[in-house]
Amino acid sequence: MLRCPGQDQRFWKPDDIFDVKCPNCGQPVELFKDEPKINCKSCGKMVLNPKIDLGCAQWCRYAQQCLGVAALKDLNILRDKLIDEMKKVFGDDGKRISHALAVLDYAEKIQIVEGGDPLVVKAAAILHDIGIHSAESKHGSSAGKYQELEGPPIAMRILKNFAFDEQTIEHICKIIANHHSAKNIDTTEFRIIWDADHLVNIQDEFPQAPKTKLEKIINKYFKTCTGRQIAIDSIIKNKPN
C-alpha cells in the first residue's frame, strides 16, 4: 500500500510540527501532527496533542495498517479525557451526561460530511452544556438564559489543562457561549454543534408532535444540509402524519 499523503512527511507543511506548553512544568514540547501524545522531556508528564486531526482514521479502512493498533487507540484520547472532565462536572446528573454524549454522536457524524476542525467539534459538543449546573445554582429557574455565560469559564479551565492553544480555546468557548442564541458566531463547527443539539432536543421536547410541525421546525432551525438530512431520516420518515 502506498504511504498515505496525510502521514507522509514529504507532503507536510511547516506548521505540521509545532510546540505546545507542558501543562505541568510550562516547558515547550515539540509535537508532530500525527502524534497523539508524548512525554515532556523536562518533567516526564504526558502531553496530549491538541491539534491532532482525528478525521481520516475514523472512516479509512487502511487506518490500522497506516497508524498501527496502538496509535488508533490513542487517537481519541483527548475526546475521552474531555468526557471524563464533563462527567466530573455533572456528577450524578445522568440526564445531562447522556444529552452531551448524544450531541457528540450526532456532531461527529455531521462533521465527517460537513468538514471543519474535528477537535473543536468534539470538544464543543462534549462541553456545550457545561455551565448549566452553575447557572442553576446562581439563577434557579432562569438558568437557561445564563447558561451561555456560565459555561465558557468552566470550559476554559478544563481545556487549558490539556494544552489547547489559545485560538482553539477561544473558538470552543465562543461556540458554548452561543449554542442557544447564535448571536456572535457562524463557523462550520458552530453550525455542526447547533444542529447536533437540535437533533437531540427536538426528539426530547416534541415526542408527540405531528409530522407537519416537525418539518417546519427542521426547515427553520437547521444550519447544515447533513444535520437537516439526519433529522428527516431519523425524526420525520417514520413519523405518522
Q: What is the CATH number of domain 76-241?
A: 1.10.3210.10
Q: Who contacts 77 (Cβ-Cβ below 8 Å, separation ≥6)? A: 36, 37, 48
Radius of gyration of the chain (CA): 19
| Overall average pLDDT of the 150-179 stretch | 90
The fraction of the chain above a pLDDT of 90, given in percent, is 37
Q: What is the pLDDT of residue 31?
A: 86
Average pLDDT, the chain: 82
Question: What's the pLDDT band for 163 if we cut at 50, 70, 90?
Answer: low
- Record the cell numbers describing residue 147, joined without a space: 447558561
3 pLDDT exceeds 80? no
Check residue 141 and give its pLDDT: 65
The whole-number pLDDT of residue 195 equals: 96
What was the pLDDT predicted at 1? 43
Q: pLDDT, tens digit, for every residue of 215-240?
A: 898 999 999 999 999 998 888 876 66
Of residues 114, 85, 118, 115, the one with CA closest to residue 104: 118
Task: Give me the sign of the Cα torsion angle 116, 120, 121, 124.
Answer: negative
Letter string b/e over residues 186-204, b meaning 16 or more CB atoms within 10 A of that residue's CB: eebbbbbbbbbbbbbbbee
118 vs 241, residue with greater confidence: 118
Which pLDDT value is given to residue 70? 52
Place of cell 506548521: 15
Residue 72: pLDDT over 60: no
Residue 180 has pLDDT above 90, yes or no: no
Res 115 pLDDT > 90:
no
Q: Which of 7-11, 40-44, 132-136 has the highest mean pLDDT?
A: 40-44
The confidence score (pLDDT) of residue 240 equals: 64
List the domain boundaries for the chain.
1-75, 76-241
Percent of the chain whose predicted confidence (pLDDT) is above 70: 80
Please give the residue that has the higher pLDDT: either 127 or 211.
127
| Residue 102 banded pLDDT, cuts 50, 70, 90 | very high
- Where is pLDDT greater, at 89 or 66? 89
3-state secondary structure 4-63: CCCCCHHHCCHHHEEEEECCCCCCEEEEECCCCEEECCCCCCEEECCCCCCHHHHHCCCH
pLDDT band at 117 (very low <50, low <70, confident <90, very high): confident
